[in-house]
């Protein structure tokens, strides 16, 4: 009986304590090392994006402010959420740390999906209403929208989900495990606000962008005058940006949807055997985003070169033309 008590997270609680997680085998250790490397890579790559957009004045555009917001959420995923998810599987948890993890995962995920919606709206206006884009989408408005996205999500988590966040042990069968069992009504609200509605908006907006992009491509092929050639060149740059950000959105949804689709059938999703795999699939998207920037954005490749070689420390480097 004494030996059994040593296997508990909190031996003093005995009947209420969870058992300590068993040490993983060789495969488990290898998987943990790989995931730790992915976590470090995710944080590093997104930090490069944050430094690039923040440092170089030429990159201070409304669209890049949205990319900066997404990179901040991706950076937090690599720096905090991935390591905490690994910790959740191999160690006993105090309620305070579990509450912090619960707040971070909910807040960062909802803020990132909100940013993706803003990116879709930005491309919709740029492609479908280009003449009024400079007056509709200004730096001030975009910054306000980004701040509102992050602040409103934080307030929502603190006000409406305080019971789940600050009393995570109340719905568990044992103490020492970090799992959340949301009430069906609360979970339905979560799915509606942070999955069904955003995904619907994104699909509708990019569906319209795609339709306009097809018509513009046909117009480009049929241009016959110098004036129309100049107009098509301007439109082509916007369409290229829409295509690149469209790829980012598709990859995001590919990694994002499985977890929430599985959640539709399993309310207690965090305690199931598939939960960690689905969570890490979503987290892995945060590592893919900077790779997409590197493949399609020349400015990002040039900015990384200047950062790695420490040329950004030179006077006047903020004014460098890296576009």
The burial of 115, by beta-carbon neighbours within 10 Å (0-12 exposed, 13-18 middle, 19 or more buried), is given as: buried
CB 17 within 8 A of CB 45: no
Residue 42 CA, distance from chain mean position = 11
Of 146-150, 231-235, 286-290, where does mean pLDDT reach its minimum? Answer: 231-235
Most confident option among 11-15, 189-193, 276-280, 317-321: 317-321
CB 283 within 8 A of CB 81: yes
Q: How confident is the model at residue 233 (pLDDT cuts 50, 70, 90)?
A: very low
Encode pLDDT of 156-215 as tens digits: 878 776 665 555 545 555 677 777 666 677 777 878 888 889 889 988 988 888 888 777
3-class DSSP state of 61: coil
Angle at CA of residue 275, ends 272 and 280, nearest 5° = 160
- Look at residue 117 in the predicted model and tell me its pLDDT: 92
Instruction: Write down how long the chain is.
Output: 323
CB 289 within 8 A of CB 46: yes
What contacts 59, CB < 8 A, 6 or more positions away? 52, 53, 299, 303, 322, 323
Q: Is the pLDDT of residue 28 over 70?
A: no
Distance CA 240, CA 148 (A): 28
- Look at residue 73 in the predicted model and tell me its pLDDT: 94
Average per-residue pLDDT for the chain: 79
Joined together, the tokens standing for residue 154 give 């934080």
What contacts 81, CB < 8 A, 6 or more positions away? 101, 104, 105, 108, 283
- Look at residue 110 in the predicted model and tell me its pLDDT: 87
- Look at residue 136 in the predicted model and tell me its pLDDT: 92
Mean pLDDT of the region 262-278: 61
Encode pLDDT of 140-152 as tens digits: 999 999 999 999 9
Distance CA 78, CA 65 (A): 20
Joined together, the tokens standing for residue 80 give 């905090």
CATH number of the 35-319 domain: 1.20.1070.10
What contacts 285, CB < 8 A, 6 or more positions away? 74, 251, 252, 254, 255, 256
The burial of 255, by beta-carbon neighbours within 10 Å (0-12 exposed, 13-18 middle, 19 or more buried), is given as: buried
Distance CA 218, CA 156 (A): 45
Residue 70 CA, distance from chain mean position = 6
Q: Where are the domains of the chain?
A: 35-319
């Amino acid at each position: 009986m004494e030996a059994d008590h040593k296997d508990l997270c909190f031996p003093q609680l005995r009947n209420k304590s969870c058992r300590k997680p068993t040490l993983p085998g060789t495969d488990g250790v290898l998987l943990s090392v790989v995931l730790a490397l992915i976590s470090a890579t995710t944080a590093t790559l997104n930090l490069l994006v944050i430094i690039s957009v923040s440092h170089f004045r030429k990159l201070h555009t409304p669209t890049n402010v949205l990319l900066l917001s997404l990179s901040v959420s991706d950076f937090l995923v690599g720096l905090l959420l991935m390591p905490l998810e690994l910790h959740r599987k191999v160690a006993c948890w105090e309620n305070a740390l579990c509450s912090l993890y619960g707040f971070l995962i909910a807040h960062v995920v909802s803020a990132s999906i909100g940013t993706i919606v803003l990116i879709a709206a930005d491309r919709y206006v740029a492609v479908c209403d280009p003449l009024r884009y400079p007056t509709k989408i200004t730096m001030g408005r975009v910054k306000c929208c980004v701040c509102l996205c992050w602040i409103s999500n934080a307030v929502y988590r603190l006000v409406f989900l305080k019971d789940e966040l600050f009393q995570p042990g109340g719905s568990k069968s044992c103490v020492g495990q970090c799992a959340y069992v949301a009430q069906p009504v609360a979970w339905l609200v979560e799915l509606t606000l942070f999955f069904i509605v955003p995904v619907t908006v994104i699909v509708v907006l990019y569906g319209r962008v795609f339709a306009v992009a097809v018509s513009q491509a046909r117009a480009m092929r049929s241009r016959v005058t110098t004036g129309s050639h100049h107009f098509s060149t301007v439109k082509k740059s916007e369409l290229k940006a829409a295509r690149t950000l469209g790829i980012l959105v598709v990859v995001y949804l590919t990694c994002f949807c499985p977890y929430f689709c599985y959640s539709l059938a399993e309310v207690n999703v965090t305690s199931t055997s598939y939960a960690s795999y689905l969570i890490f699939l979503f987290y892995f998207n945060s590592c893919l985003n900077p790779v997409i920037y590197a493949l399609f954005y020349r400015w990002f490749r040039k900015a990384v070169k200047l950062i790695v070689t420490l040329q950004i420390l030179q006077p006047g480097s903020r004014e460098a033309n890296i576009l």
